[in-house]
Structure 1
Amino acid sequence: MVFEPDRLPVPAPVIMIVEPYGGSIRQQNPNLPMVFWDDAALTRGDGIFETLLIREGRICNLERHGARFKASAALLGLPEPILADWEKATHMALEAWFSHPHAGEASCTWTLSRGRASTGLASGWLVVQPISAEKIRQREQGVSVMTSSRGYTVEDYLPGIDVATGEAKGKIPKNPAPWMTVGAKTLAYAANMAALRYANANGFDDVIFTDGERVLEGATSTVVSFKGDKLRTPTPGGDILPGTTQAALFEYASAKGWRCKARELSLDHLYGADSVWLVSSVRIATRVTKLDGQKLPKPNNEKEIRALINKALG
């Protein structure tokens, strides 16, 4: 019989309800409903999330995810997450996850919603589940990417820029739309998912958003280029969400002698790089093999790059 690992029975998702204000943490049956009809996560997409990689039994990049989770909550005026509770719930979920004989690498998504309209109380939960075969394939084989404008612009002086990047980038006008925040990882991902569906329908695997010739980010990832010993990524802020995987990579790579810098990147920069990668928490790193139909080079040091990114995540 041919061994087909994709056909092994996989564990059911493990769901933990996390009380945002402290208190009980309890496991939820994945076959039973858990979110009320008037929860803002469903009715408004009003909430935040973080997706963490579970690898070799441990949570990767936990500190950065926790810091961004707290920053996102502050930007949206949500209750400050009690990170000790979220970490405890994650460890409880992993204990249940790894009790399954075929449990392996997984993703863990933390979700904090503004909660029910009828109570005014926030709601929170996390889910541990298998990583899809498609994400594994893209890690190994790379992706064909189209570029596209995002379809809207985000002013770089809006509230949240200082949280995301340390400083506001533009001159702040008298009325800077204070209800608009950037730098938060929110549940409002419908436009990103629509972009991915469009890309898939037109023969591409992924999207890199651009503003004219300026490179922004992937639909669910951060763009990183390699050329010689230089690593480059678009400067976060405004319409570019700071990436936790990219931050871990740059910190580790810098310590190993690579020259890492966030700067404004153009499409010409990507075409002229030794290699271009999309990095994110669960997919980790996938090489861009084609950009708008043009084949990009496969670097001679691809194994070294993959090892570098993997070690950066521990």
Structure 2
Amino acid sequence: MDSSSPIIYVVEPYGGSIRRHNSALPLIYWDDAAVTRGDGVFETLLIRDGHPANLQRHLDRFRASARLLELPEPNGEDWIAATREAVTEWSQRSEEDAKCVWTYTRGRETTGHPSAWLTLTPVADSVLKQRKKGVKVMTSPRGFSIDTSLPGVDEATEGGDPKPAPWLTVGAKTLNYAANMAALRYARSRGFDDVIYVDPGTGRVLEGATSTVITVRSGGKLRTPVPGGDILPGTTQAALFEYAEEEGWRCKAKDMTVERLLDAESVWLVSSVRVAVRVTEIDGVPLPAPDNEDEVRDLINSALGAE
């Protein structure tokens, strides 16, 4: 079978079964909330060396996202089992990295039953290129802000228990990514590869359109913007900081400005599938490659040791 053909498994949300789905056949109905409203959650996992990387953190965030959207609790055993079956099939085709996406929606309006499935596909050539060559980014306001004084917002976005203001889904990795994709298209139309969002009122760096911002500073320091509120906690960043601290790096979440990006040894965008992408330019200002670029890249890759 062609290695570019997607592998799809349907996961019955009430623990009924998992089943292989023919990628040539339809899967989603016309009235599914994923299509009509973007109402659902997802996780994207890296498949490397025949295993899903950072699996437990993805599962924890997946469950937290479902709770915030008041979806039925995902059966973790079923999702893991389906993922491992898909990975086994992929491993028979290829030894290269792959991308696995879990999708869980509110389902059909006419039935009220959630829809759930995963897909496993090759990593795009454009992603492989960015891993090697890095990205030019523009900074931009996101266009909205989150009032973190609303009840429970900080706790919810940091993975805590208190229920947030009930109309908010901050802290959930939802399917509603249209604005992020539009921001990336705009950036590319202006000669950039990616976007880093900045709060226009405070100048505080937030996150990338689909990534977490990391800076490397002299003295073996790693820094990332403080998660919570309007910054989604990153699974890759969490794995990196845990591993890096064991290796002697000093890691801290700290508010930062664009100026603090420009005077860092290096700036990185980290995410599950792109893994480690060095920022080579910010708003037209070049960021030269640091002497320890390979060391940092190896550190991030090692932190994502497959589970």
CA contact (8 A) 2:50 2:88 kept: no
Deviations 1:7-35 (A, max 9, x none): xx533100000001101111111111000
Partner of residue 222, structure 1: 212
CA contact (8 A) 2:49 2:95 kept: no
User: Is 2:115 the partner of 1:123?
Assistant: yes
Letter in 1 for 2:4: P
Partner of residue 250, structure 1: 241
CA contact (8 A) 1:75 1:160 kept: no
The 3-state SS of whatever aligns with 1:128 is: strand
CA contact (8 A) 1:11 1:103 kept: no
2:271 maps to which of 267, 280, 284? 280
CA contact (8 A) 2:281 2:287 kept: yes
- 1:129/1:167 Cα in 2 relative to 1: closer, same or farther (>3 Å)? closer
In 1, the alpha carbon distance for the partners of 2:208 and 2:48 equals: 23
Deviations 1:223-267 (A, max 9, x none): 000012110000011110000000000000011110000011111
In 2, the alpha carbon distance for the partners of 1:279 and 1:273 equals: 16
Partner of residue 32, structure 1: 25
- Normalising by structure 1, what TM-score? 0.92
In 2, the alpha carbon distance for the partners of 1:289 and 1:153 equals: 27
Equivalent residue pairs, number: 299
Partner of residue 286, structure 2: 295
User: Is 2:300 the partner of 1:309?
Assistant: yes
User: How big is the shift at 1:177?
Assistant: 4.7
Larger mean Cα displacement after TM superposition, 232-241 or 150-159:
150-159
The 3-state SS of whatever aligns with 2:273 is: coil
Partner of residue 198, structure 1: 186
In 1, the alpha carbon distance for the partners of 2:31 and 2:95 equals: 34
CA contact (8 A) 1:208 1:217 kept: yes
CA contact (8 A) 2:9 2:19 kept: yes
1:186 maps to which of 167, 170, 174? 174
1:27-66 map, 5 Å = 27-66=20-59
Letter in 2 for 1:250: F
Structure 1: gaps (5+ residues): 1-8, 169-175
Partner of residue 100, structure 2: 108
User: Is 2:195 the partner of 1:207?
Assistant: yes
CA contact (8 A) 2:214 2:269 kept: yes
1:267 maps to which of 253, 258, 268? 258
1:73-84 map, 5 Å = 73-84=66-77
User: How big is the shift at 1:95?
Assistant: 1.9
Quote the RMSD (CA, aligned, Å). Answer: 1.6
Deviations 1:184-234 (A, max 9, x none): 000000000000000001100000000022100000000000012110000
Identity among equivalent pairs (%):
59
In 1, the alpha carbon distance for the partners of 2:19 and 2:159 equals: 37
In 1, the alpha carbon distance for the partners of 2:21 and 2:149 equals: 41
Structure 2: gaps (5+ residues): none
In 1, the alpha carbon distance for the partners of 2:159 and 2:78 equals: 28
Letter in 2 for 1:311: S
In 1, the alpha carbon distance for the partners of 2:157 and 2:243 equals: 20
The 3-state SS of whatever aligns with 1:98 is: helix
- 1:127/1:160 Cα in 2 relative to 1: closer, same or farther (>3 Å)? farther
In 2, the alpha carbon distance for the partners of 1:219 and 1:108 equals: 19
In 2, the alpha carbon distance for the partners of 1:255 and 1:285 equals: 19
Letter in 1 for 2:98: A
User: How big is the shift at 1:167?
Assistant: 6.8
Letter in 2 for 1:276: V
